[in-house]
Every structure is written in C-alpha cells, then in structure tokens.
Amino acid sequence: MVKKLVMAQKRGETRALCLGVAMVVCAVITYYVLATTLLPLYQKSVWTQESKCHLIETNIRDQEELKGKKVPQYPCLWVNVSAAGSWAVLYHTEDTRDQNQQCSYIPGSLDNYQTARADVEKVRANFQEQQVFYCFSAPPGNETSVLFRRLYGPQTLLFSLFWPTFLLTGGLLIIAMVKSNQYLSILAAQK
C-alpha cells in the first residue's frame, strides 16, 4: 500500500513539474514575441504629450469630392482641432495616420458603403457633441497632427505583459511547491 502511494505521488509530482516547466517556457516565448513586436512599436511612438483639443470643424469627404487625388473607396472623416494653441489634424490612431493621411477616421467595416457611412456619421456626431477632449501630440516641432487614442501606450504594454507574468509566476510557484514537497517527504522518510 505504501509503495503504491509513493508511486502515485511520484507520477503526480512529475506531471506537476511538467506543467510548471511548460508554463515557464510559454511565458518566456511570449515575452520574446512581445519584445520583438510590441516593444519596438511602443518605443517608436512619439505621441507622448497629452493635451486638450478643441474642435474646429468636422466634415465627411466622399470619393466624389476628392477627384484627382488617390481616393479611398469609403467615406472619410476629416477633423480639424486646436491643440496647444495651434491648428492640427486629428487622427484616430497611429495606424489611421499611416493608412491614409487624408482621413482622420477610417470606418471598421469597409464592405458596405452605407454601413461605413453610418459609422462615420456616428463618430462625427460624437465629436460635435464633445467640443473639448484630450488628445496626444508629438513633441514640439510636429504639431500639425494629433492623435485621439494611442495604440501603443503604456496601458497597452502593461496589459500585454500581465498574462505572461501571470504564467511565469504560476509556473515558478508550481515548481517551488513540488520541490518543497519532495524535500519535506525526504526529511520525513529519514526520521
């Protein structure tokens, strides 16, 4: 009976150790992926100064209004604001500015023009309702554009690091508990 109990404990300890090691390895891999993808984007983001923006104007540009230019096949919201005492163009995120500098907001679904138009109208109404809001600007010198929301801010970085840290801590705790259990059972067997 005692031999069966010891064998069952040994198998359970082995499985628990494998689980702990697997959790630690997954956490290390996740840290590596985050360090090579998200961290460089966070470091490149120059939109660090938070300021108050005052709405100047919003208009929706359709493809008919922008003839002669490279025009997207979706409605385009253009927002002008006053930030830090100067005129600026408001972009929804960093990616919006990179995708199309003629649009302040690009709708989420571009499959249906009417749905995209309704989405842009809703965002425009939200801006007109709130005339003053917080925005992010680049350091002095590039104040012709500001962001409404940062994609790669400190909150995003902390949220992305939460689960790998949780995995790493859990894996190390499992390994520590199994090793301490083994040590205590060896001490008990010697007495």
Is residue 98 domain-resident? yes
Provide the residue-wise pLDDT of the chain in tens; the chain has 191 residues: 445 545 556 788 889 999 999 999 999 999 999 989 888 888 877 777 888 888 888 888 775 544 555 555 677 787 878 876 778 888 888 888 778 777 888 887 777 778 888 888 888 888 888 888 888 887 666 668 888 888 888 888 888 899 999 999 999 999 999 999 888 888 887 87
Is residue 146 domain-resident? yes
Which pLDDT score, from 0 to 100, does residue 1 have? Answer: 45
Which pLDDT score, from 0 to 100, does residue 23 have? Answer: 96
Q: Which two tokens stand for residue 17?
A: 């150790």
For residues 87 and 133, what is the distance between their CA atoms, to the nearest angstrom? 15
Which pLDDT score, from 0 to 100, does residue 146 have? Answer: 84
Residues 132 and 54: beta-carbon distance below 8 Å: yes
Residue 149 has what DSSP assignment?
A: S
**Cα 23 vs. chain centroid, distance in angstroms?**
23
> What range defines the domain where residue 65 resides?
49-153
Is residue 53 domain-resident? yes
What's the one-letter identity of residue 179?
K
Q: Which of 30, 32, 39, 40 lies closest to 157 in space, CA to CA?
A: 39
Q: Which of 114, 82, 107 lies closest to 92 in space, CA to CA?
A: 107
Backbone φ, ψ for residue 134 (5° rounding): -85, 145
Is residue 138 domain-resident? yes
Which pLDDT score, from 0 to 100, does residue 73 have? Answer: 67
User: What total of structural domains would you count in the chain?
Assistant: 1
pTM of structure: 0.66
Is residue 57 domain-resident? yes
